[in-house]
A and B are shown apart, each in its own frame.
Chain A
Amino acid sequence: MTMLFRLCMIGLHAASWMVCEEDRYEWLREWASELWHIHAAVKNAPLREQMEMLRFARGAFSDAFWLAVHNRRLRGWKLPVFHSPLQCLIALFVLALAATGLALIHPEIRNAVLPPSTYEEARSLVLIARDGYTQTEKPSVRLDEFRNWTRNTQHLYSELAFYQMLERRVHIGHGSEATLSIARSSNNLFHVIDSPSLSGNNVSLIKDKPQALLSEAAWRTLFHRDRHIIGHTLLIAGEKAIIIGVAARDSWQLPGKADVWLLETDARMNELPMGAMGFVVARLQTSLLNQGAGDSLHMLVPNGDGDYSGFTCTVLIKRLREPLYLFAFTAMLALLALPATTSLPLGDYPLHPGRQSWSIRIRRWVFLAAKLLLLVPILCFGPIAITHWAASLQATTVASIQGCITFATTLFALRWMLRDQRRRCPVCLQLLRNPVRVGQPSRNFLAWNGTELICVGGHGFLHVPELPTSWCSTQRWLYLDPSWRTLFRPPVPISF
């Protein structure tokens, strides 16, 4: 057999997974037979002619796909059932891989999973928001409060910066205009953030004129990747700003999605109304960090009428990791709700020295642990990925959706995990089949009634009581003597 033939056979086996289990054997037999005949005809021919095998095997995928779609139409869409433990783990592994991949593609989720590297000393960078606004993307700090803090909170913060999000028509040259999302900020914003990927080339050189930093997307779509854009002037709502650079993609991790960052001069900042609302970022003093200030600080600030306003300073890393904290919280809630949806015991498996060695018992628990381990990335990254792809939604909405999806999926998955474990043979871990009703409810006091399932490998029966009683409270496994083995076919091996 040539290597190409073996390769084609692997391809046929891979395609056969699309075909339903009942038709798979015959489907594979037909394709393998034809491939064998082609191989017999071309095996001594030059490689170019041998490629006929590859072309032939490629068609198996179309055929298998057609059969899969056709069968689904005939029989209706059903969730796949993975009878073999290996199939079950492979399916979970693929799902876990897909969820992790989706999560790592999305920058926000990647930042939540991996520590952000775009900001220097992210541990000391805090976002200050009025109480009740920490989880939102709404501006909550007035400009006069920010000015007050810059004068009076030097013992807390080494530096503070203010920015607000605006929608403005921007003249982008050649007579064309576009409505852009603009982050208008104090000119020290990037100094506070201290991100090399956000700083423009000449950011520190021009302080007496407004400066603009373009987002990578705006530079790409509006300025057609013009490499000589730096130094040009943008007209933003009648105000001229010099373009100082282009921010790297995904480098902005603070609230608001900006196309342009407009760094105002001090004089222009002073012209803004006192009540202008915005966001405030600050650098914590090193002394506070050394004292172990934690992930968030609470600040009470006296306002004019003798009352106090509360503000929360949240460390940026904590803010970025909120999706993970939310997952942990909702998963815990789902865990608490689990006993309300299914019973927790895995069943009664009487000790049978001949049939239940230590390795078999351990294997059963390892299988359960493996399922749980593979479910964690699916349940963690899946909902985060789904909700964060809807980037246009507000942060609170995203968090609510993520919480709901995580709770529902975690509850469902944990329930499935336990039920799946209970429906498996303790010896071969194959799913039990052929459920039959046994007994009658009227005879519950003399016998038991419920469902009996059988292991196709002939290892035993599972009796699941319909009504838990003191003598039959949980499902019970009944081992079959090896002499029964001849009546059963061996479990289907997973092979190529």
Chain B
Amino acid sequence: MASIASLRHVSIGQYIAMGSVVHRLDPRGKLICFGLLIIATVAATTYTSNVLLLAAVLGLVLLARLPVGYLLSTVKPAVPVILILALMQLLFYGGSADAALLTLSWGPIHIVVGRDAVRMVVTSLLRFLDLLFLTSLLTNTTTHGELTRGLESVLSPLNALHLPGHELAMIGAIALRFVPILGEQMESILMARESRGVGTGGSSRWRVVRNAQQVAALIVPLFVDAYRRSEEMMLAMQARCYRGGRGRTHLLESAWRLSDALALGLTVLLVASVLALQHLPFH
């Protein structure tokens, strides 16, 4: 039952109010910096660029005064899976034989651990840490309201191209707003089932069909309920003359300050140096 009760409190990363410099940055600037850093992280394939990125991101986490141990604790249950996947990557990546660091032969089995495979595993683990910290940095230092407002103004250039920038932000805002309500709904479905003696957990993972039936019985009513509510919401919005994003203003306007420009400048510099490091002769 404890797991059922927690459903309504779900969110993408909890906002942790620490009042640091990072918390006070403009959400638009934060989103742009986040996007740039993600691009740099995906592009980085060498040791040096990954280490530089990790150092920078870790510095940001400390600057935001977020508890590093807490951020890492979310991956604790997945550590065995991560290790198994890393090992498989290491052993079966293949690569050219002349760059082999280690060759194991045992009867018909030949396992070659290449230089490329080691680099692949190390950089993908570093990249994982980078992205873990980056996603936490965005969601733990920005409230949902700020995030959707920031998203709307970052997407506003799309409106000029007749693409639905406002609509995209609106979809995001609706989704974030209604996750708790749907969570509550799911909770009551689960409780209704539990009270009628239809257990939710404890079934063996070999009983795939049964497990699938259980999940389907949970989410089909959820969909139908959500659709009914969305019809009601559409009526309510039409009654209030909702006409899309044109000419809408906001109650709260965020102001672009010197610190935001500085943060953006530093991020661009960091991303440029990571991309430059990619092309250096030594790795």
Co-complex (A, B): no
Binding site for A on B (CB under 8 A): none
Binding site for B on A (CB under 8 A): none
